[in-house]
C-alpha cells in the first residue's frame, strides 16, 4: 500500500530532486480523482538545512517521521559522493525496509542507500557521472550506468535529476496502476514512460532538425501500433536510408525501433486491460500483437505477469 510518504533531507540537498518527490507525492490532485498521499518532509540533520542552490529550508519533522512511512525518499545532494551520513539515518532506513517500507533514491541519493548496506547484492541506478565511483566505493552493489531507474523492490534507485520522475511514476504505476500514473504525468506535462537509458544523454545531442524528424516518426508509430511496420517503412517516413534512420533512432531514444514500439504496445495493452472489458484477442489486435498468445508472451516478458493477472489486479471500478 502506498499512502504515507516521507522524504528525508540532508544538508546540501538539491532543490530539483527534492521538488520531483514533492511534485509527485506531495501535491493534492484530488480534483482529478487522484490519490492524496500523507506526505511530509523530514530532516536528518536538524530543523534548518542549507540547500545546494544557496538558500535555507526550515523542516518541521525529524527522523521519527520515517517510522510510519510506506515510502521513504532520499533525494540527491551536494558532496554525497564524498561525505559521511548520520548513523541514525542509516539505521532508520534499515528499520524501514525491515518493517516492509519501500525506499527510493534520486540520483546521488543512492550513496545513502549504499552506505546503509541496503544495496548490497542488488542492482542500482545513479547518475552516469557517479556510476564508476559508486561501484568502486561499494563493490557489493551492481551499478547499472545506462538505465534511467532500477526496480529492486523494496529498493528503487534512479539516475540523474529528471530520471527521478521516471522512477517515481514507475512506483506509482506499479502500486496504483497506469491510469493513476498517466494522469499524474499529464498534469506534470511529462511522458508517463520514457524508453531508453542514460546513454542517450551522454552521447552528443542530435541537431534540432534531426530530433524533430524522429519525433514525427514516433508520433506516427504511436498512431499505428496495430499495424506491422518495418524499419524501411519508418525510414521512408523520415526521408532517410534505413541504416541512417536506425542509427539516429538509437541516438535519439536510446533503443531500437522494434523495442520502442514493443514497449508502447505493452503500455497500450495495460491501459486497455485496466479500463475495458475487451477480450484478449481484441486487445491483441488493437495493440498489434495479432493474437492472445503473442500478447501474453510479450506482456509477461515486459511486465512480469500475465494479462489476465494484471487485469484482476489493476482493473478500475469503471471497467467492472
Can you give the three-state secondary structure of 259-297, one letter per residue? HHHHHHHHHHHHHHHHHCCCCHHHHHHHHCCCCHHHHHH
Q: How many domains does the chain have?
A: 3
Examine the domain organization and report whether 52 and 102 are in the same domain.
yes
Provide the 10 A C-beta neighbour count for residue 83. 14
> What is the extent of the structural domain holding 177?
4-188
Give the pLDDT mean for 106-125.
97
> Which tens digit of pLDDT belongs to each residue from 93-104?
999 999 999 999
Burial 195-223 (b: 16+ CB within 10 A, else e): bbbbebbeeeeeeeebeebbeebbeebee
pLDDT-based confidence at residue 212 (cuts at 50, 70, 90) = low
Domain shared by 33 and 92, yes or no: yes
Q: Are residues 84 and 119 in the same domain?
A: yes
Residues 55 and 166 occupy one common structural domain: yes
Same domain, 38 and 182: yes
Same domain, 284 and 215: no
What count of other Cβ atoms lies within 10 Å of the Cβ of residue 153? Answer: 9
Same domain for 249 and 263, yes or no, is: no
Say if residue 48 is in the same domain as residue 128: yes
CATH number of the domain within which 152 lies:
3.40.50.880
User: If you average pLDDT over residues 179-201, what whole number do you get?
Assistant: 76
Domain annotation covers residue 296: yes
In the prediction, which pLDDT does 99 show? Answer: 97
* Reduced DSSP (H G I as helix, E B as strand, rest coil) percent helix, strand, coil of the chain, to 5: 50, 15, 35
Q: What is the percentage of the chain residues whose pLDDT exceeds 90?
A: 66
Q: List pLDDT tens digits, range 259-300.
A: 999 989 998 998 899 889 999 999 999 999 999 999 999 999
Same domain for 265 and 246, yes or no, is no
**Which CATH number do you get for residue 243?**
1.10.10.60
Amino acid at each position: 500500500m502506498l499512502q504515507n510518504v516521507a522524504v528525508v533531507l540532508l544538508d546540501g540537498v538539491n532543490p530539483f530532486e527534492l521538488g520531483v518527490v514533492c511534485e509527485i507525492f506531495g501535491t493534492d490532485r484530488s480534483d482529478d480523482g487522484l490519490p492524496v498521499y500523507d506526505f511530509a518532509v523530514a530532516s536528518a540533520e536538524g530543523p534548518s538545512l542549507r540547500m545546494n542552490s544557496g538558500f535555507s529550508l526550515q523542516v518541521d519533522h525529524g527522523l521519527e517521521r520515517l517510522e510510519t512511512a510506506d515510502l521513504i525518499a532520499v533525494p540527491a545532494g551536494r558532496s554525497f559522493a564524498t561525505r559521511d551520513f548520520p548513523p541514525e539515518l542509516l539505521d532508520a532506513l534499515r528499520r524501514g525496509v525491515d518493517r516492509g517500507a519501500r525506499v527510493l533514491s534520486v540520483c546521488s541519493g543512492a550513496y545513502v542507500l549504499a552506505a546503509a548496506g541496503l544495496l548490497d547484492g542488488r542492482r542500482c541506478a545513479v547518475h552516469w557521472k557517479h556510476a564508476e565511483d559508486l561501484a568502486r566505493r561499494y563493490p557489493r552493489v551492481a551499478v547499472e550506468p545506462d538505465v534511467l531507474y532500477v526496480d529492486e523492490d523494496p529498493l528503487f534507485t534512479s539516475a540523474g535529476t529528471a530520471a527521478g520522475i521516471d522512477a517515481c511514476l514507475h512506483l506509482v504505476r506499479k502500486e496504483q496502476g497506469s491510469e493513476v500514473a498517466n494522469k499524474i504525468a499529464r498534469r506534470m506535462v511529462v511522458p508517463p514512460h520514457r524508453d531508453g537509458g542514460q546513454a542517450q544523454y551522454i552521447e552528443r545531442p542530435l541537431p534540432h532538425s534531426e530530433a524533430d524528424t524522429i519525433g514525427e516518426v514516433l508520433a506516427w508509430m504511436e498512431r499505428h501500433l496495430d499495424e506491422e511496420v518495418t524499419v524501411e517503412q519508418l525510414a521512408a517516413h523520415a526521408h532517410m536510408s534505413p541504416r541512417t534512420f536506425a542509427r539516429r533512432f538509437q541516438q535519439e531514444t536510446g533503443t531500437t525501433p522494434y523495442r520502442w514500439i514493443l514497449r508502447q504496445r505493452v503500455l497500450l495493452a495495460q491501459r486497455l486491460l485496466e479500463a475495458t472489458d475487451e477480450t484478449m484477442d481484441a486487445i491483441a489486435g488493437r495493440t498489434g500483437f495479432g493474437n492472445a498468445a503473442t500478447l501474453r508472451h510479450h506482456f509477461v516478458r515486459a511486465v512480469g505477469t500475465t494479462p489476465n493477472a494484471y487485469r484482476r489486479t489493476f482493473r478500475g471500478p469503471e471497467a467492472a
